[in-house]
Amino acid sequence: MRIVLVGPPGAGKGTQAAFLAMNLSIPHISTGDLFRANISRQTELGKLAKSYMDAGNLVPDEVTIAMAKDRMEQPDAENGFLLDGFPRNVSQAEALDELLVTESMQLDAVLDLEVPEDEVVKRIAGRRICRNDSSHVFHVTYKQPAKDGVCDVCGGELYQRNDDSEETVRTRLEVYHTQTEPIIDYYKAQGLVVTISALGKVEDVTTRAMEALKRGEGDK
């Protein structure tokens, strides 16, 4: 299957992408991983992307698209892939369509993870990270430490990252609504959108997504 994964920040896209890719035996292709891999390998595209990032500018669509094209042409993506973070806007979606036509491929579904805005804010703004190890993550509601403000693993101080503040989260949501959400209508016109609720346990959301993909339709 060839799938595009869409959803607001805090919807759990990264987590679901990993599980879905494993269940479907297809590679999970995220823009973050593409950038890191190309920059690490010092490819021409990586050098180009880094020049924009070092200057504090957004990486142009054509560079992102070229990276995605290169990745989708790898042998492990021959039978499908799951795109996470790309396309990020309608112009990228149009470019992806052109690319797929050129490669004699087509998308099977666009999986839209739906989460109420208040829940997104609650999920992200409630996160607390250990200053000693950022992989130790807690939550004021969903994963409380035994002692308030103290990491259960190493005893380090727990803190809220600046980009996890409610104000920042709402700004990120506005960017999502303005730039990325329009691709849902774009793909609905092609009959590709499968919408599911991303509320509940991780494994329940994965099961819901797999069933919806098999049916070719989301929750009504």
- Kindly list the catalytic residues: 13, 88, 127, 161, 172
Name all contacts of 21-25 with Cβ < 8 Å and 24+ positions apart. Answer: 21/82, 23/206, 23/210, 24/80, 24/82, 25/79
